[in-house]
Structure 1
Amino acid sequence: MSYAIIGFGRIGQALAHAFARKNITVAVASRQSPEVLAPLAQAIGSTVVASSLQNALQAETIILAIPFEQHGEVAKSLPNWEGKTVIDAMNSLAPLGEMDGLLSSVYAMKAFAGARFVKDFNHLIAATLATDPCVEGSHRVVFLSSDEEDAIAPVATLAKYLGFAPINLGKLNEGGALVHARGRIWGPLIFQDVFKKKQ
């Protein structure tokens, strides 16, 4: 399985740290050139590889860690998204009225037609996400939602391998609402730092 993180701000870097801790190769890309990203990527770990957007999008699993407003631009970078798993780690603070009354993940999913679309890694602040998720025999929880049941399992496996405890909240319009950020209204699980005891 190949992985890429699109967006190399605080959330993108936090996720890169998670991959580096487990020595998993991950491509990272942003609007900046690979040459600009390379020193920061190398400082995180040797398995974090600065890449162009087009090269990064060749990965099988792609994590969106960009500002929500940029997702449409990224979606247009490929003619189709068949066979890709897209992990939505974005948050939108826009009112629902600006997204056709839809939750942000449901709205964004429409731009990535054909992809297996999963909400994950969005509910933790960057500083928390960047730290080791294994603490005193417990694992930091991440919440997953998707409208495709078979899309959850591989993302949950990745999250578990990175040291997190994945919890499936169900479909985007149901469980996804629990970790949705919009305006000044927060889903009840957004920004909650929850741990699960190691079994």
Structure 2
Amino acid sequence: MKIGIIGAGSIGTTLARRFSAGGHDVAVANSRGPETIGAEALEFGAHAVTSADTVKDKDVIVLSIPFARIPAVAPLFASAPDQTVVIDTSNYFPHRDGAIEAVDNGQVESLWVTEQLGRPVVKAWNAVLSQTLEVMDAPAGTPDRIALPVAADTEEARRVGMRLVDESGFDPFDAGTLADSWRQQPMMPAYCTELDLRDLEKALNAADRDAAPRVRDRMLERVLEFTSTPTREQLLELNRSAHR
């Protein structure tokens, strides 16, 4: 597949490496220009391009940028083919993104993204720590392989999203429609807790929509208590402890 990745942070870089190593034609862009894309993202054959070029003639576009920046890239999608599948990895964190009234008032994050872009998205890779994505991938069929939720409004888009999650080294779980994707938003039981398929389904079903913002803000306070950058193990324990 021809895959464009907008965003070369930890998740965008890992996906660029994984997909290009797997034989896909991968183009990567960030907001600062192709000359600033790190060599790590390009090691297995991905190529650095402008943001405009990431959306041209692509089968899939992965959007991996901070939630609040999504409106700024929305004009790019006017030139993307209608059949292109757009996958969004972002999450809303008010302390970073600033207050977004519609989401604060209960709009599902992925539906807000859909409105900004003017086209539907697939929600995937938002419920995994960047460190987990980088180091905990495993071949299909591996016992206790970590599973990730994938939400979309069409069967074809969901199929593509689930295929790519599988190729990235994780079991894909059909998490339903975008309206249901609140279950995989920050600080829900399924969010960054490294569960297998069976336990992920239980976690999605246990989600409490009303409690999530309070849990998110409480967990942020605990993150800020760390005196150095928390490790994957520390963040995993923090996320799991929120639902014990």
1:14-163 paired onto structure 2 within 5 Å: 14-37=14-37, 39-42=39-42, 45-58=43-56, 59-79=58-78, 81=80, 82-94=82-94, 97-99=101-103, 101-113=106-118, 115-134=119-138, 137-138=142-143, 139-163=145-169
Asked if structure 1 preserves the Cα contact closer than 8 Å seen for 2:146 and 2:196, the reply is: yes
Q: Partners in 2 of 1:172 and 1:132 — Cα distance? A: 26
Q: Is the 1:83–1:116 contact (alpha carbons within 8 Å) kept by the matching residues of 2?
A: no
Once residues 50 and 166 of structure 1 are traced to their aligned partners in structure 2, the CA distance between those partners, rounded to angstroms, is 28
Contact 2:108 2:179 in 1 (8 A): yes
Give the Cα separation in 2 of the matches to 1:122 and 1:34. 25
**What amino acid is aligned across from residue 67 of structure 2 in structure 1?**
F
Structure scoring higher RCO (CA < 8 A, sep ≥ 6) equals: 1
Work out whether residues 17 and 41 of structure 2, in 8 Å CA contact, stay in contact via their aligned partners in 1: no
Cα distance in 2 for partners of 1:137, 1:78 equals 37
Conserved 8 A contact 2:33-2:50: yes
Please say which structure displays the higher CA radius of gyration.
Answer: 2
Aligned residues between the structures: 189
The answer on 1:195 being equivalent to 2:200 is no
Q: Is the contact between residue 5 and residue 29 of structure 2 (CA under 8 Å) also seen in structure 1? A: yes
CA-based RMSD: 2.3
Q: Runs (4+) of structure 1 moved beyond 6 Å?
A: none
Identity %: 24
Point out where structure 1 has 5 or more consecutive residues left out of the alignment: none
| 2:12 paired residue number | 12
Residue 52 of structure 1 aligns to a residue whose secondary structure is: coil
Match for 2:108: what amino acid? L
Normalised TM-score (structure 1): 0.84
Structure 2 CA distance for partners of 1:190 and 1:132, relative to 1, 3 Å: closer
Larger % of strand: which? Answer: 1
Inter-partner Cα distance in structure 1 for 2:131 and 2:166: 19
TM-score (norm 2): 0.70
Deviations 1:116-169 (CA, angstroms, capped at 9, x unpaired): 411001111111111251179233211101122332112112222333210011
CA distance in 2, matches of 1:157, 1:48: 19
* Equivalent-residue separation in structure 2 for 1:130 and 1:53 (angstroms): 24
Stretches of structure 2 that go unaligned for 5 or more consecutive residues are 199-244
